[in-house]
Amino acid sequence: MEIFEVERQETITRQEAATRLRRIANLLSGDEDEAIFERGGVRFEVTLPDELNFKVELEVGSEERELEIELKW
C-alpha cells in the first residue's frame, strides 16, 4: 500500500483552532460517506467509515503542552 501524507504546522489563534476542529466534526457527523480535502493544490477524497479508532493524548512538560487527537481507520 502506498502512503500519501500531508502535514502542515502553523501558529493560529485558539478561535481558529476551534473552527477547524468544528469543520472536522461536521465532516464526521454529516451524512456523506466521503470527505474532500484540498491542500497545496492537491485535492483528495477519503472514505469515512461508520466506526473509527479515536485516541487523545496529553503531554505536559515543564515548558510545553501537547494535545494530540488521532482518528484512524
Predicted pLDDT at 5: 80
Q: Which long-range contacts (CB under 8 A, 24 or more apart) does 66-73 make?
A: 71/28, 73/49
Tally Cβ neighbours within 10 Å of residue 68. 9
Give a yes or no: residue 7 inside a domain.
Answer: no
53 lies in which domain range? 14-72
- The tally of domains found in the chain comes to 1
Averaged pLDDT, groups of 10, the chain, 73 residues long: 80 97 93 87 90 97 96 94
Domain assignment of residue 5, yes or no = no
Q: Answer left, alpha or beta for residue 4, where phi above 0 means left and psi between -120 and 50 means alpha.
A: beta
Domain-located, residue 62: yes
Does 63 reside within a domain? yes
Cell numbers representing residue 56 in the block: 487523545
| pLDDT value, residue 20 | 94
What integer pLDDT is reported at residue 34 of this predicted model? 93
Asked whether residue 4 is assigned to any structural domain, the reply reads: no
pTM for the model: 0.79
Per residue in 32-52, pLDDT (tens digit) is 899 988 877 888 899 999 999
The answer to whether position 32 is within a domain reads yes
Tell me if 39 is assigned to some domain. Answer: yes
What is the residue type of 41?
G
Terminal-to-terminal C-alpha distance of the chain: 14
At 1 the pLDDT is 67
